[in-house]
Chain A
């Protein structure tokens, strides 16, 4: 026998550590699913990955036109187009993970009813796909930086950290939603509304100084505000570090752990209800 692993199946859910180990064992499946999604998404299209750039590009044009030229909104000392693009960078990454991740378990209902694998692999694979889309948005950022002669900050070395928190926030929402909606799916209908609402309580379109200085902490009750501001802090040297980033990012960590905890509890029930 090649491998003498023993599997013990009981009614108890896995411990979180065991579950993490299982996910690690199936890590290649994460990239295989991501590759599948990318291939299938752009199969039988002429432009292929080129379509990925279309969405942020149109967003950039429309929002810049309306908010900057029509409404004359200001962004603390940054060209408005750059402000918006860096805001959308973090927000779109987050929202891609949320929307794709939320549907990922149901999308694979056929498979999870027939073959066991740790279900967390499904939203994790969507993170990889979201990363591909994110890097395409970065390609859009470069010509804008040159056009506005905006120098990059040395703090871009912190991008991986902010990316991590961005991912954790997305996964937190996915895990919590999935864990609470495997039986009754109402929550999956509610989340899109929350997301539409969320983009307006996150400094994506307007600068956070529309609130008076002593009330600015309100922004950071939303961890995504810290993530989006964190992106700008990493990229632009004239952007200030706010000490409030830290509790907000800590909040996203707690949310993620809560999500993972809940997801693990119900992970084996997905196949019965999917």
Chain B
């Protein structure tokens, strides 16, 4: 095994013998959680392992951690392994935080003197110094989590294995722990994550997709994540539109007495499939039944994990509200070279009585009395009305930007400049002050 490999997995299989139940290979009570998988992880790499439930992710992690033995195959791990499969594993509620630090450290194979070396850092990071001699059972959830994480983050491991552990804390804990993890990654530690939260995984440098106990893909690009997500969405029955689409049936959305949506359309001109280098038009046709309210519109575009990518509203354009009854069509034009090569979801929000918003702006009292949310009446909400995916195209060149591990919801073409600089123009900055 070369020296820069942290984990090497060769022909690894794990079979569980079911005590009662059905089997996967027909003739026996065997369940192959992993079958014949091989891959390597370099030192300093941060790896995300994804896959549906029951694909063998946790089993793989348990084998890497040495907790369970494989049925066949070999795993070689270079360095000391931290198995953080459950953030509070090993804690005893009746013991104090101080005692638990030594308990957890010892369970992970550290000697008392080694733990003492990290003790101060652990306590300082956890932020629970005043309570460190209190029994852990009296800690709040947050205190407990911070202590548990702090212990694992400060003991000196080489390889860290995480199994769905960051979905448990509050926002502050999440922030702190992410920062600390980034530090670990920066200092060349190897990290392996199993998670269902794709946003959490998007910063990894290697992605492994496990399916039915096999490595179905292993890639350096986070494209793997989005493709995996998109495929899951399609499996759940939702269509991801890749070309012009016209919707006329809105029976699954809430209805309103004052508004009736007739058509929703997303299109690019003379286009077979959506490409990033063309204007994209969103059109919505609706009938206003009465003429009592003013109606405006807003669009919310999210990525498929639900994160908001952008919002846009007709309110930013003057005199674009509709008042009297009748048929109307709002049209929103997204410019070319604006979207990225992801899938998106569009939601439509009708805003009634936006007039109040104008008055609220002039009379600040009404805002404070009613609250901003009361000023706007969102009458009608078409949530995730269209899911569509853009195909990256760049006229003239053949740059495959989608192969770059670029994050972010949008990929707008902004103005870039490159100018040649003469060395003499820069040099004065470095010049020493003339001495006499």
Query: Are the C-beta atoms of B158 and A40 separated by less than 8 Å?
Result: no
List the B side residues contacting A44 at CB < 8 Å. Answer: 94
List the A side residues contacting B83 at CB < 8 Å. Answer: 114-116
Query: Are the C-beta atoms of A39 and B75 separated by less than 8 Å?
Result: no
List the B side residues contacting A117 at CB < 8 Å. Answer: 107-109
Confirm or deny: A222 has a beta carbon within 8 angstroms of a beta carbon on chain B.
no
Known: A25-B109, A28-B111, A271-B62. A6 touches B69 (CB 8 A): no
Confirm or deny: A36 has a beta carbon within 8 angstroms of a beta carbon on chain B.
yes
The bracket for how many chain B residues form the interface is 35 or more
Closest chain-A Cβ to B122's Cβ sits at a distance in Å of 16
Docked Cα-Cα span, A6 to B79, in Å, equals: 6
A137-176 CB mask vs B (1 if < 8 Å, else 0) is 0000000000000000000000000000000000000000
Known: A8-B74, A8-B75. A32 touches B69 (CB 8 A): no
Interface residues in A198-219 by Cβ distance below 8 A to B read none
Confirm or deny: A65 has a beta carbon within 8 angstroms of a beta carbon on chain B.
no
Q: Which of A71-79, A87-95, A105-113, A235-243 forms part of the interface with chain B?
A: A105-113
Closest B residue to A40 using CB positions: B94
Query: Are the C-beta atoms of B70 and A11 separated by less than 8 Å?
Result: yes
List the B side residues contacting A66 at CB < 8 Å. Answer: none
Q: Which of B49-57, B95-103, B326-334 forms part of the interface with chain A?
A: B95-103
Closest chain-A Cβ to B371's Cβ sits at a distance in Å of 47
Interface residues in B105-157 by Cβ distance below 8 A to A read 106-112, 135, 156
Closest chain-B Cβ to A158's Cβ sits at a distance in Å of 32
Confirm or deny: A5 has a beta carbon within 8 angstroms of a beta carbon on chain B.
yes
The bracket for how many chain A residues form the interface is 35 or more
Query: Are the C-beta atoms of A110 and B102 separated by less than 8 Å?
Result: no
Confirm or deny: B217 has a beta carbon within 8 angstroms of a beta carbon on chain A.
no
Confirm or deny: A47 has a beta carbon within 8 angstroms of a beta carbon on chain B.
no
Q: Is the interface of A mostly helix, strand, loop or mixed?
A: mixed
Known: A115-B108, A116-B66. A39 touches B73 (CB 8 A): no
Docked Cα-Cα span, A110 to B95, in Å, equals: 17
Interface residues in A1-50 by Cβ distance below 8 A to B read 1-11, 13, 25-26, 28-29, 32-33, 35-36, 39-40, 43-44
Query: Are the C-beta atoms of A39 and B94 separated by less than 8 Å?
Result: yes
Q: Which of B85-93, B195-203, B207-215 forms part of the interface with chain A?
A: B85-93
B68-86 CB mask vs A (1 if < 8 Å, else 0) is 1111111111111101011
Closest A residue to B158 using CB positions: A1
Query: Are the C-beta atoms of B103 and A114 separated by less than 8 Å?
Result: no
Query: Are the C-beta atoms of B68 and A10 separated by less than 8 Å?
Result: no
Interface residues in B15-69 by Cβ distance below 8 A to A read 16, 62-69
Known: A115-B89, A115-B90, A117-B109. A268 touches B69 (CB 8 A): yes
List the B side residues contacting A26 at CB < 8 Å. Answer: 106, 109
Query: Are the C-beta atoms of A29 and B106 separated by less than 8 Å?
Result: yes
List the B side residues contacting A36 at CB < 8 Å. Answer: 92, 95, 99, 103
Known: A32-B106, A36-B95, A111-B107. A271 touches B67 (CB 8 A): yes
Closest chain-B Cβ to A34's Cβ sits at a distance in Å of 11
List the A side residues contacting B107 at CB < 8 Å. Answer: 29, 32, 111, 115, 117
Contact of B67 (CB < 8 Å), options: A10, A43, A110, A112: A112
Closest chain-A Cβ to B380's Cβ sits at a distance in Å of 49
Closest A residue to B64 using CB positions: A9
Docked Cα-Cα span, A26 to B94, in Å, equals: 23
Query: Are the C-beta atoms of A5 and B99 separated by less than 8 Å?
Result: no
Closest A residue to B92 using CB positions: A36
Closest chain-A Cβ to B306's Cβ sits at a distance in Å of 30
List the A side residues contacting B68 at CB < 8 Å. Answer: 268, 271-272
Closest chain-A Cβ to B342's Cβ sits at a distance in Å of 36
Query: Are the C-beta atoms of B72 and A11 separated by less than 8 Å?
Result: yes
Closest A residue to B70 using CB positions: A11
Query: Are the C-beta atoms of B94 and A114 separated by less than 8 Å?
Result: no
Closest B residue to A12 using CB positions: B69
Query: Are the C-beta atoms of B76 and A7 separated by less than 8 Å?
Result: yes
List the B side residues contacting A40 at CB < 8 Å. Answer: 92, 94-95
Known: A28-B111, A116-B67. A5 touches B79 (CB 8 A): yes
List the B side residues contacting A1 at CB < 8 Å. Answer: 79, 158, 188
List the A side residues contacting B418 at CB < 8 Å. Answer: none
Query: Are the C-beta atoms of B112 and A115 separated by less than 8 Å?
Result: no
Confirm or deny: B171 has a beta carbon within 8 angstroms of a beta carbon on chain A.
no
* Top 5 A-B residue pairs of the complex, sorted by shortest distance between their CB atoms: A114-B89, A116-B66, A268-B69, A9-B75, A32-B106
Q: Which chain B residues have a beta carbon within 8 Å of chain A's beta carbons?
A: 1, 16, 62-81, 83, 85-86, 89-90, 92, 94-95, 99, 102-103, 106-112, 135, 156, 158, 188
9 contacts between A and B (CB under 8 A): A7-B77, A8-B76, A9-B74, A11-B72, A13-B69, A33-B106, A39-B99, A110-B90, A117-B108
Q: A6-B76, A33-B106 are in contact. List 7 more A-B contacts (CB 8 A).
A: A6-B78, A36-B92, A36-B99, A110-B90, A113-B85, A114-B67, A115-B83
Q: Which chain A residues have a beta carbon within 8 Å of chain B's beta carbons?
A: 1-11, 13, 25-26, 28-29, 32-33, 35-36, 39-40, 43-44, 110-117, 268-269, 271-272
